[in-house]
């Protein structure tokens, strides 16, 4: 009989790479909350190695501050905005990280040789974070995570397995085309992507276009930004919508409508028990979540033929991707059935 020694000691590192922030954490393998140490920095886009350099610097700092030696690290889990090749650890065609090709595995392995590095699309990482840290027993096997942030991403656990696809990008949901005849161009190059309407970047760009077109009144928004359009982010648009700004209300309505379309498609494809939402757009969750819940509780058929999922908000907000990266490293070294 072969005895498998259960790994109970040692540390794992988690990294979450987003369009705006890079977050890094270390924790004991049991993911005990008390031992979770974190740091973050803004995502530098000076050259294609800026991101890997930032990650190594922060991780080394975290190890030093907590008196942990490099060789006590059992694994590093890296969740990145995709698409990325999870074997080679190269991000490609990304819309928000500044470069079309971003190598991660090689430069990080140079700094952390002999430590296994596991790459995962950040949306898929997020759903693992939900799975480990907050999903209820009766929804764990069929749960989806959607991040609405600089971009839109997702992760899907279906029948108790994380869906990965040929390179690990099985749930690039943000680039699902929700409006094929649209003239709204997404950062990825396609037209009518969900992300082009409902992400922070999408809301900002659509608002700038709307102001330029001048068809809808945007006086209240212009007042908030003191006529300086460089100040526009999703935050200001939602703020203006609350005050009744006509253009901003239209942009927010579209953001929510196309999110309903996206959620309906996800539920048709994966028949999920629950969908958790997270990401920076949830700063305005009070305008977004109740409308989604009402739609899928009262009139789901307009958007999905399957029985509707429960719509929930992750309680870990923008930390769920980081927690997912840690979970992925843990599940990989423990060979959890979710990821194999």
> Which of 188, 266, 275, 322 touches Zn ion by CB under 5 A?
188
Round to whole Å and give the CA distance between 312 and 319.
Answer: 16
# residues contacting Zn ion (CB under 5 A): 5
From residue 52, alpha-carbon distances to 22, 78, 161, 262 in Å are 10, 11, 29, 32
Q: Within positions 241 to 270, which residues make up the interface with Zn ion, using CB under 5 A? A: none
- CA angle centred on 101, ends 96 and 103, rounded to 5°: 110
Strand order in the sheet with 101-103: 84-85, 90-92, 101-103
Query: Nearest approach, Cβ of 261 to Zn ion (angstroms)?
Result: 14
Query: Nearest approach, Cβ of 99 to Zn ion (angstroms)?
Result: 17
First to last CA, the chain: 23
- The CB-side HSE value for 20 (13 A sphere, CA atoms) comes to 12
Q: Nearer to Zn ion by C-beta: 171 or 193?
A: 193
Query: Nearest approach, Cβ of 9 to Zn ion (angstroms)?
Result: 44
Query: Nearest approach, Cβ of 278 to Zn ion (angstroms)?
Result: 20
> Which of 193, 249, 255, 280 touches Zn ion by CB under 5 A?
193
> Which of 75, 186, 261, 322 touches Zn ion by CB under 5 A?
186
> Which of 36, 68, 164, 190 touches Zn ion by CB under 5 A?
190
Q: Is 184 in the site for Zn ion (CB under 5 A)?
A: no
Handedness of CA 222, 224, 227, 232 (dihedral sign): negative
> Which of 23, 105, 131, 175 touches Zn ion by CB under 5 A?
175
Q: Nearer to Zn ion by C-beta: 61 or 100?
A: 100
Q: Nearer to Zn ion by C-beta: 127 or 188?
A: 188
Collect all residues with Cβ–Cβ distance below 8 Å to 241 and sequence separation of at least 6: 248, 249, 251, 252, 287
Decide: helix, strand or coil at residue 41: strand
Query: Nearest approach, Cβ of 200 to Zn ion (angstroms)?
Result: 14
Query: Nearest approach, Cβ of 188 to Zn ion (angstroms)?
Result: 3
Residues composing the chain: 340
Q: Nearer to Zn ion by C-beta: 186 or 240?
A: 186
Nearest alpha carbon to residue 153 among 206, 103, 194, 203:
194
Contact residues: Zn ion, CB under 5 A:
175, 186, 188, 190, 193
């Amino acid at each position: 009989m072969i005895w498998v020694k259960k790994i109970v000691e040692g540390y794992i590192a988690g990294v979450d790479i987003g369009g705006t922030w890079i977050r890094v954490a270390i924790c004991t393998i049991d993911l005990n909350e008390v031992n979770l140490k974190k740091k973050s920095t803004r995502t530098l886009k000076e050259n294609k190695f800026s991101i890997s350099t930032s990650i190594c610097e922060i991780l080394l700092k975290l190890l030093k501050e907590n008196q942990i030696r490099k060789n006590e690290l059992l694994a590093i889990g890296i969740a990145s905005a995709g698409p990325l090749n999870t074997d080679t650890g190269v991000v490609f065609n990304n819309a928000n990280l500044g470069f079309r090709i971003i190598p991660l595995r090689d430069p990080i392995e140079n700094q952390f040789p002999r430590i296994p590095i596991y790459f995962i699309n950040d949306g898929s990482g997020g759903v693992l974070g939900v799975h480990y840290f907050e999903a209820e027993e009766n929804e764990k096997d069929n749960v989806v995570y959607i991040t609405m942030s600089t971009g839109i991403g997702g992760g899907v656990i279906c029948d108790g397995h994380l869906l990965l696809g040929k390179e690990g990008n099985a749930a690039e949901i943000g680039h699902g085309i929700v409006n094929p005849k649209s003239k709204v161009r997404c950062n990825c190059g396609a037209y009518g992507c969900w992300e082009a309407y409902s992400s922070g970047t999408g809301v900002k760009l659509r608002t700038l276009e709307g102001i330029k077109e001048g068809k809808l009144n945007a006086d209240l928004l212009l007042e908030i930004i003191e006529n300086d359009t460089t100040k526009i982010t999703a935050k200001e648009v939602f703020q203006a919508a609350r005050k009744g700004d006509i253009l901003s209300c239209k942009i927010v309505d579209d953001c929510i409508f196309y999110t309903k379309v996206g959620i309906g498609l996800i539920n048709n494809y994966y028949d999920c028990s629950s969908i958790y939402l997270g990401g920076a757009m949830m700063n305005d969750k009070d305008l977004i979540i109740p409308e989604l819940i009402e739609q899928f509780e009262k009139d789901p058929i307009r958007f999905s033929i399957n029985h509707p999922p429960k719509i929930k908000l992750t309680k870990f907000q923008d930390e769920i991707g980081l927690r997912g990266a840690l979970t992925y490293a843990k599940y990989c070294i423990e060979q959890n059935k979710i990821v194999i």
